């Protein structure tokens, strides 16, 4: 019988921790602690501790966490923020939301993350910050990025949406910049059962400004110091995340094992490049992304064998219609443009069986 392989299997994860999840949800309902309250506070403390940060400000989703951080860092109209040419659009659209101008920088050919060697060419007197993305679960080159930021007095927000617990130089991602943003979208390495996000920092004053902005401009109800927004993690999501958090180390290890097995089984396939690790990085493998010269026919071949694959992401950010106003051409971002038609994400999730893994590898290997 043919093995069907979904891209991810959220239900399998739920079944593996069904009892504590059901109990946690029932407890939130029993105590009606839906907004703010003990479940949210507990998760904020636990998550800060898990990622080695002093403060965690939870919010409604990962997109908001970027926007909240930029607003609290004081982005003003005309300010320029440099970010990678290859990511999910949240990374760049929030720069515009915060009032800034997006400046795209091309990616590094092997890791798909922002290329530090090209950042300085984009710095102008209006530049205020850099947002590297730890794409697919691999850290951007943070030592090099922080050196540039220090030299030019720029802030750095790390977009850790795909990279919970990834490391570089044995340091956790999120521990380098002024703030780190996280998404707990259900399919993320640490996923809620709905939308959820957080921003972490070691700067108490920044944490206060972020919390204030996310909560209608006031830390205490009714005391609005500024106009803010309503971006809250709810009690149900917080309770679910608290049950899942202790499993994150084990789930990440399992993702790394699956990736190693894929590397072993696919390393010699002609025309295929397995994920390349930069120096001293520990990849969290949110996604296992291969590059293939015949990407679209390969994806079709996999689909015909009941194997789901996804393209993350089919178009480099600067080339999207959303950024037509910037007048970019493909030649401006040769690496991101080269990759957009070659990258393919294969199924990877902690509950994936070795039979499923082998089915994917065999299907890829049988492609002609
Ligand atoms: C790199 C990156 N940044 C930001 C986000 C935004 O997260 P959310 O979907 O929780 O708003 C995502 C999620 O897809 C992401 O992958």
Residues recorded for the chain: 368
Q: What is the Å distance from ligand 1's center to 77 Cα?
A: 24
**Mean pLDDT, to the nearest integer, of 97-108?**
98
Is the omega angle on the peptide bond into residue 218 within 30 degrees of 0, that is, cis?
A: no
CB distance 84 to ligand 1 below 6 Å: no
Mean pLDDT of 354-363: 97
CA 89 / ligand 1 centre spacing (Å): 8
* Chain-centroid distance, C-alpha 326: 25
| pLDDT mean over 298-326 | 98
pLDDT at 222: 86
Which of 88, 82, 76, 129 shows the shortest CA–CA distance to 106?
Answer: 82
Sign of CA dihedral 290, 292, 298, 299: positive
Q: Does ligand 1 come within 6 angstroms of the Cβ of 231?
A: no
Neighbouring C-beta atoms of residue 17, cutoff 10 Å: 15
pLDDT tens, 267-294? 999 999 999 999 999 999 999 999 999 9
Q: How far is the CA of 156 from the centre of ligand 1 (A)?
A: 17
Predicted local distance difference test score (pLDDT) of residue 115 = 98
Q: What is the percentage of the chain residues whose pLDDT exceeds 90? A: 97
For residue 91 and ligand 1, the question of a CB distance below 6 A is answered with yes
Residue nearest to atom 12 of ligand 1 (CA): 161
Q: State if residue 133 touches ligand 1 by the CB under 6 angstroms criterion.
A: yes
Ligand 1 near 111 CB (within 6 A): no
Q: Is 162 in the pocket of ligand 1 (CB under 6 A)?
A: yes
pTM of the model: 0.98
Q: Residue 67: in which H helix or E strand, if any?
A: helix 62-73
What is the rounded distance in angstroms from the CA atom of residue 148 to the CA atom of residue 176?
13
Residue 132 Cβ inside 6 Å of ligand 1? The answer reads no
Q: Please compute the mean of the pLDDT values over residues 312-334 and round it to a whole number.
A: 98
The predicted model gives 323-340 an average pLDDT of 98
Quote the radius of gyration of the chain (alpha carbons, Å). Answer: 21
Measured from the CA of 195, which atom of ligand 1 is nearest? Answer: 10
CA–CA separation, 159 vs 87, rounded Å?
Answer: 10
Taking all residues of the chain, what is their mean pLDDT, rounded to a whole number?
A: 97
Other Cβ atoms within 10 Å of 119 Cβ, number: 24
Measured in Å, residue 226 CA sits from the centre of ligand 1 at 27
63 CA → ligand 1 middle, Å: 6
Those residues whose C-beta lies under 8 Å from the C-beta of residue 284, and which sit 6 or more positions away, are 134, 137, 138, 162, 163, 164, 165, 166, 189, 252, 255, 256
pLDDT value of position 317? 98
The 10s digit of each residue's pLDDT in 17-69 is 999 999 999 999 999 999 989 999 999 999 999 999 999 999 999 999 999 99
159 lines ligand 1 (CB under 6 A): yes
Quick one: which H or E segment has residue 159? strand 155-159
Q: According to the model, what pLDDT value does residue 306 have? A: 96
Structure tokens at 265: 């089984």
Location of structure tokens 């089919």 = 314
What residues have CB less than 8 Å from 360, skipping those under 6 apart? 5, 262, 302, 307, 346, 347
The residue whose CA has the least distance to atom 7 of ligand 1 is 62
- What's the pLDDT band for 117 if we cut at 50, 70, 90? very high
Q: What is the 3-state secondary structure (H, E, C) of 92-158?
A: HHHHHHCCCEEEEECECCCCCCECHHHHHHHCCCCEEEEECECHHHCCCCHHHHHHHHHHHCCEEEE
- For residue 212 and ligand 1, the question of a CB distance below 6 A is answered with no
Query: Residue 57: in which H helix or E strand, if any?
Result: strand 55-59
pLDDT band for position 2 (50/70/90)? confident
Phi, psi of 355 (to 5 degrees): -65, -40
Q: Which of 161, 162, 182, 237 to mutate to test the pocket of ligand 1 (most atoms within 8 A of CB)?
A: 161
What is residue 131's predicted lDDT score, i.e. its pLDDT? 98
> What is the token pair recorded at 87?
């990511």
In DSSP notation, 275-341 reads PPPPTTEE---SSEEEEETTHHHHHHHHHHTTB--B-S-SS-GGGSGGGGGGT--GGGSHHHHHHHT
pLDDT of res. 61: 98
The CA-atom distances, in angstroms, between 319 and each of 75, 105, 327 are 24, 12, 9
184 Cα–ligand 1 center, Å: 8
Question: What is the mean predicted confidence (pLDDT) over 167-196?
Answer: 98
197 CA → ligand 1 middle, Å = 9
| Residue 229 pLDDT | 97
Nearest CA to ligand 1 atom 14: 88
- 204 pLDDT more than 80: yes
Whether 183 is in the pocket of ligand 1, judged by its Cβ within 6 Å, is yes
Report CA torsion sign: 29, 33, 36, 38.
negative
CA 284 – CA 289 distance, rounded (Å): 12
Mean pLDDT score, 90-115: 97
With 90 as the cut, is the pLDDT of residue 1 above it?
no
* Alpha-carbon span 59 to 237, nearest angstrom: 11
First to last CA, the chain: 22
Query: How far apart, in Å, are the Cα atoms of 157 and each of 133, 142, 338, 355?
Result: 9, 11, 26, 40
């Amino acid at each position: 019988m043919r093995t069907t392989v979904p891209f991810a299997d959220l239900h399998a994860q739920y079944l593996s921790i069904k009892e504590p999840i059901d109990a946690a949800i029932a407890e939130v309902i029993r105590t009606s602690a839906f907004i703010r309250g003990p479940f949210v506070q507990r998760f904020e403390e636990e998550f800060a501790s898990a990622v080695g940060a002093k403060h965690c400000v939870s919010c409604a989703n990962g997109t908001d966490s970027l926007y909240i951080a930029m607003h609290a860092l004081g982005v003003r109209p005309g300010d320029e923020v440099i970010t990678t040419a290859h990511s999910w659009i949240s990374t760049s659209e929030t720069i515009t939301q915060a009032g800034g101008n997006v400046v795209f920088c091309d990616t590094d050919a092997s890791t798909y993350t922002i290329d530090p060697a090209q950042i300085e060419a984009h710095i102008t007197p209006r530049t205020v910050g850099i947002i590297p993305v730890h794409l697919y679960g691999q850290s951007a080159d943070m030592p090099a990025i922080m050196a540039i930021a220090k030299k030019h007095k720029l802030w750095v927000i790390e977009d850790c949406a795909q990279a919970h617990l990834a490391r570089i130089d044995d340091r956790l991602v999120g521990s380098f910049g002024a703030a780190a943003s996280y998404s707990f979208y259900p399919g993320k390495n640490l996923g809620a059962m709905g939308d959820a996000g957080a921003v972490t920092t070691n700067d108490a004053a920044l944490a206060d400004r972020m919390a204030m902005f996310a909560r209608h401009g006031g830390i205490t109800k009714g005391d609005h110091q500024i106009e803010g927004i309503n971006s809250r993690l709810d009690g149900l999501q917080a309770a679910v995340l608290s049950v899942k958090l202790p499993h994150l180390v084990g789930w990440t290890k399992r993702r790394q094992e699956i990736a190693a097995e894929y590397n072993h089984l696919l390393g010699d396939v002609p025309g295929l490049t397995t994920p390349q690790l930069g120096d001293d990085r520990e990849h969290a493998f949110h996604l296992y992304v291969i590059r293939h010269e015949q990407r679209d026919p390969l994806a079709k071949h996999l689909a015909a064998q009941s194997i789901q694959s996804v393209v993350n992401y089919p178009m480099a950010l600067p080339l999207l219609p959303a950024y037509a106003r910037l007048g970019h051409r493909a030649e401006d971002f040769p690496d991101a443009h080269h990759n957009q038609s070659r990258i393919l994400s294969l199924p990877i999730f902690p509950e994936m069986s070795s039979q499923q893994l082998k089915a994917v590898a065999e299907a890829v290997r049988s492609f002609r």
